[in-house]
Structure 1
Amino acid sequence: MNYPKLNFVGILVLIFCMVSGYSRAQDSTIYKLKSSLDTARENTVRVDIWVNLAQEIMNTSIDEATKYLDSAEALSEKIEYRSGLANVYKVRGSMSTLEGKYAKALSSLSKALTTYRQTGDSSNMARTDWLLGNVYSSTNNYNEALRYYKNALEYFVALKDSKSVAALNNNVGTIYHIRGNLDSASIFYNKSLLTYLELKDKEGASTNYTNIGNVYADREEYYKAIEYYNQSNGILKQLNQTLGQAVNYLNMGDVYMHLKDYGKAHEYVKRAMNIAEKEGFGSLLTDQYYTVGEIYEAEGKYAKALEWYRKSELMEDSLLNTEAKTALIETQTRALEEAQKRELEKINEINSERLKTEKLKNSLLWVISSSILLLLLVATVYFYKRARVARKIKQQSVQILDQKSKIFDQARSIAEKNDSLLEHNARLEKLNEEKNYLMNVVAHDLKSPLNQIEGLAEVIRLEKGNLSSTQLECLDNIAVSSHRLSKMINRILDARAIDSDSKSYEIKDIKLRPVLLQTITNFAPLAERKQIDIVKPLRLANPTVKGDKHYIQQVLENILSNAIKFTPQGKQIDISIDLEASRAIVSIKDQGPGLTKEDHKNLFNEYAKLSAKPTGDESSTGLGLSIVKKYVGLMGGDVWCESEDGQGANFKVALNLA
C-alpha cells in the first residue's frame, strides 16, 4: 500500500482539527477580541484576550502572536494568574509545533501540563496531553505519542466529550497502524467510526472509512478496502470536500495495481490527478505521479515508469523552491526592517561623533608620533628576524646531511626486517591452513554426535507421560543447547567455505523489499519477547539489486539478530531502504549501547568480542558480522556501521542496483 496517504488522513487531519479549527470567521473574531481588549478592566480578562488573540493569529503571523503571549505571560506572573500562565505555555507549544521546533514545543507543553495539574484543570490537561501526542508523533516517537494520546483519551471519556474521544481513538488507531499492528488499529478505527456515526459527524466518519480501507489494503483484502474507500467518498461528495476524494481515488488506484487490474488503476489515479490539478494540491500530485510510475513499473513498462518518477521528483523540487522563495521574501523583509533600524542608530552615532571631534584633534598629534616610533620598532624586528632566519638555514643544512645518513641506515635495517617478516608470514600461512583443516574436521565430526543427541532427546520426549517436570525441563535445555551448538558449527563451516571459495552462489536480479519484509517477519516473535518495536517507513522502497537471494537473507538476518540482541527491552529498531546513485542501501538502526573506537577496529573480524554485551543474555560466536562482510563482498557490495559509544549502532548494507 501507499502508506503516505494513510498517514495524511489518519494523523494530519486530527492535528488540523485541534490547532487550526478556528479559521472560520477568523477576521471577525480577531476584530471582536481587539475591541474587547480596549474595554477590559480586569487583568485576568486581559490575559485571556491576549492568549485568544495569539491562538487566532499564530497561523498567519508568528511574530504578532508571540508579542501577545509575551504580554500575557508578563502580566500573569505579576498578578500570579496560574491558569493564564498555563494557557500561555499551551499556545506557545502549539506555535512551536507549527514551526517544527519540537524540542521547544515539548518544553512549553510540559510546563502547561504541570500547571494545569496544579490547578486541577482536567479539560486542559486532556488537550495538552493531546498536543504532546501530536509532537511525539511528528518526531516518530510513537511509544510516547501513544502514551499521551491514551492519557488524553481517559480524560475525555471521563468528561463525556464524545467528539474528542472519537478523534483520539482515530489517532491511537493510526499509531498502531504505523507500527504494523493492524488488529489494534482496526479496533480503534472502528470505535472512532461508531462514535462519529452516533454524533452524525460526516467528516469524521469519512476519515475513519478511509483509514479502515487502508487496514484492509494492508491485509491484502483489496475488495473490502475498495468498499470502504467508496463509502468515504460518498460522504465527501456530499460535503464537497475534494481533497479527501482525491486521496481515496489515489488509494483505489494503488489497490487496483495490486490486483493487477492496471486499466482501473490508471483510471482512478487519473481521477485523483484531475482533482489535484484543478484545486492546486501540489504535494498530492507528487504522490500521484509516483503511483503512476509504480503502475507502469508493475506492467513492465520501465521507460514510462521512469518518466513518471522523474515528474514526481520535479514536482517535489518545485514545491520546495516555492517554499524557499516565501522564506526568502520573509528574510528580506526582516533584513529591510533591521537596515532601517541600523540607519537610525547611525544618525544617532553621527550626532555623538560631532561631540568627539574636538577630542580627536587633540589626540591626533600624539597618534602620529606614536606611529613613527612603531614603524622604527617594526623595522628593527624585521632585520633581526632576517639574521635569525639565515642562521637557521645554515643549521638546517647540517641537520639534513645528518638525517640522510640516518635514513640510509634505516633503509638497510628495514630490508633486513622485511626478509624476516616474509619468512614469518610464510609460517603463519601454513599454520592458518592447518587451523582451517582442523576446524573443518572438528566441525564435521561434531555434527554427527550432535544429531544423535537431538534425536535421542526427541525419542525420550515421546515418553513425556513418564517424565517429571524437572526431566522435561532438562530435555528442553538439551534441545536449546544442541540447536545453539548446531548453529555455531554451521557458521564456522560457512566461514571456512567462503575462505576456500567452495561455497556456491548465484548473482541474479533480486527484489529487495520482499526479502527484507520476510526477514522482519521471521524475527518479529523474537523482538516481541523483548517488547522491541521494529519500525519501517510508511513507503518502503522496492529496488531490484544484483545479488544472491540466500546471501542477502543471511546478511539481513545476522544484522537484525544482532540489533535485537543489543537493544534493551521496550526500545525500537528503525529499518529503511534508500537509493543512492547506483546502489540501494538498507539501514538497520538499533538503540543499543553503541560501539567504542576499539570496537570499530575489530567489528568485522572473525571471533571478535566487542565491549557491549547482549541485553537478554543471548549467546554470540563472533562470526556473524565477519560472514556478513564476506557475503556482501562476494556480491560486489559494501557494509559499514555508523555509531558512537552509548548512542546505538546503524548498520548499512549497500548493494548494486540491477
Structure 2
Amino acid sequence: MTPVVQGRGLEVECDSAEFYFNAFDARYKSDPDSAAYFIDIAIARAEGCNDGERQVRYLLEKAFLISEGEKSETYSQVSNVALALALAHGDSLTLARTYRKFGTLHNEFSKFDSAIYMYNNALKYISPGRDSLELIKVLTRRGITYDSQGVYDKAISDYLKALLICEDLNFYEEISGLYNNIAIVYKKQDDLPAAINYYHKARELAMELENEESMAICNVNIGLLEKDLGNYAISDSLFHSSLAYFDKSYFDYGIALVLHNLGELKRKEGNNQEALDYYQRSQKYASARSFKQIEANNSFSMARLYVDERKNSLALRHAHHSLHLATELNMKQEQSEANKILSEIYEISGRPGLALQYYKAYHQQEDSLYNEKKSAIINQLKTIYESTQKDAEISLLKKEQALQETELAASIKQRRFLVILSIALIVIFGLLAFMYTKTRRYNERLKWKREEISKQKLKIEAKQQELILKNKDLVKLSQEKDDLINIVAHDLRSPLNQVKGLLSILKMEVNADKKPETQLYFNNIDLAIDTLRGRINKILDVELINADKMSLKLEQVNPGIVLENVQSIFKGQAASKGIKINNLCNGFDKTMKADYNFTIQIMENLVSNAIKFSKSGEDITLKISETSGHIRLHVKDQGPGITKDDRARLFKKYSRLSAKPTANEKSIGLGLAIVKKYVESMGGEVWCESNIGKGSEFIVQFAKA
C-alpha cells in the first residue's frame, strides 16, 4: 500500500502547484504583490513533487514578474536557477523553451547580444520537424531583438523563416502576428508602401479568420500610415471602422486611442474644432479608466491646439497636466515636448523667466535623448561591425580550408589517376576479348533471327490475304443486312397502314356502341399500331442516315416557332401523365441555319424522352439561349438524372440506360442516335448536362442565320 500512498501524495502536491500557478497567472497584471506570493508557493510545491519541468516554467514566470519591476539582479538570479534546473533535468524541448524565455528577459533589459546568444542556444535543442511551434517562437523573438538592434535585414530574415513554417502548418494566428512585425520593420526603414502592404495582408487574414478584433487593430495601424502618407479620407474611414468595433465590444482603451488618432487627423486637416471634440471625448475615456499615457498625449495635443488659437490659459493648464503625467510615467520624449510647449506659452504670455526655465529643461532632456539615441546607434553599429568582422573571419577560414582541401584533393586525384589508368587498360583488353566473342555469337543469332522473320513474314502475308477476303464477305453481308432491313421495314409498313385504315372504318361502323370497353380496345390497338409504325420509321431513318441519302434543306428557321409547335404536339400527352410543359421563349424573333422538318423531329424526340422519364407533378422547360455566333435550344426535365456511365453511351444506337421510363414506356434505343445524326448533318452540336436526382438538360446548338 505504501507506494500507492506516496504516488497519490505526489499527484496531489503537483495538482496543488498548478492551482497556485493559476492563481498567480490571474493576478499577474492586476496585483503583482499577490502574484509574487502565489508563484513562490507554486515553485515550492513543484519542488516537493520533484517535477523539474514545472519548476523551470514557474521560475521563469517569476523572473518575468520581477523584470517588470526592473530588479535586474534578482531576475537574473532566478532565471539562472531555472536554466541550471533545465540543464540538469529537462529534455531538449524544455531546454529550448528555457533559453528562449531567458533570451526574452535579456531583451527586456536591452541586453541584445546576450538575448541573441540565448536564442541561438535554443535553436540547438530544437528538432525542426517535431518542435515546429517552438522554432517559430524562437525565430520570432530573435527577429524582434534584431529589430531592436537596428539589424533590420536579419530581423526580416528570421520573420520570413518563421512565416514559411507557419504557412506550411496553417498557423494563421502566428502568420498574422508575423505580418505585423514585418510591417513594423518596414515602417522604421521609412518604407511606408511595404509596411502598408504587410498590414493589409494581416487584415485580410484576420477577415478570413473572422477575427474582428485583429481586423480593428490592423485598421488602426493602416490608418496611421495612411495619415502619414496624406491619405486623410482613407485614414478617417479606417479609424471609424475600428471605433465602431471597439465601441461594440466595450474596449475602452481602443476607443480612447482611436478618438485621439481622429483628433490628430482632424488637426492635420486644419479642422481644429472637430479635433478638439475628439481629444475631449478621448480624454473622458482615458481619465475614467486611468489610461495615463493616452491622457498625457491628449493633454499635450489640446495644449498645442489652444496655442494655435491663442487661448494661453487653457493651453497652459493642459501642458502642465501633460508634463505631470509624462514625468510620472517616465515618458522622456513626451516630457521634452511638454517642456518645449510650456516655454513657448510663457514666452507668448510675457513671462520670460518661466519661459527660460522650461526651455532649459527642454534642452536638458533633448540632450539626454540624443545621448541615448547616439548610444543605441553606436551599439547597433558595433553589433553590425562585429557581425561583419566575424563573417569576414569565417569567410577567410573557409577559403584557407578550401585551399588545403584543393591541394589534398589534387594529390589524391593524381594517385587515383595512375591506379585507374592501370585498371582501365586491363579492363579495355578484357572488354575487347569479350566483345569479339559476343559479336561472333550475336552475328550467328542475328542470322537465325532473319530466317525466322522471313518465315513469319510469309505467314503474315497469307493471313493478310485471308483477312482481305473475309472483309469483302463482311461488306457483302452488311449490304445484304441493310437491304433485308429495308425490305422488311417497307413490307411491314404497308400492312400496318392497311390495318390502320381498316381500324378507322371499323371504329366508324361500331360507333353506335358506346361501351367504354370497346372504345378502350380500339384505342389500345391504335396506339400499338402507331408505336410499331414509329419504330419501323426510326429503323428506316437510321438506314437512310447511314446510307447518306438524307435530303437537307438548310434555311432560316425561327427556333421559337419550332418549340411552340413541339409544345402543342405534346401538351396532351404530357397532361395525361400530370406533367406541365413550360415554354420560356415566346416572342423570340431571331433565326438559325437549319432544316425545319428535321429540327421539329429532333425536338419531338427530346421532349418525348423528357415526358417518358418524368413523374406526375414535375415540369419540363423549353427555352432558348444565345452565344456570339450560335443559338441554343434547351429541353430540361426534373427526372432522375443520367449517370456518368450512361452519358458516355447516350447517343449510340441501341443503347440501354439504367434509368427506366416512369410509365413503363417502350424504346428501341434509336431516338438519340437519330437526333445526333440529324444535328451533325446540319452542322450543329448536341449534348447533355445532368446530375443524379436533379434532372437532365439536353442542349442543341445551331449557327445563327
TM-score, reference length from structure 1: 0.42
Higher-RCO chain (CA-CA 8 Å, sequence separation at least 6): 1
Bigger radius of gyration among the two: 2
TM-score, reference length from structure 2: 0.40
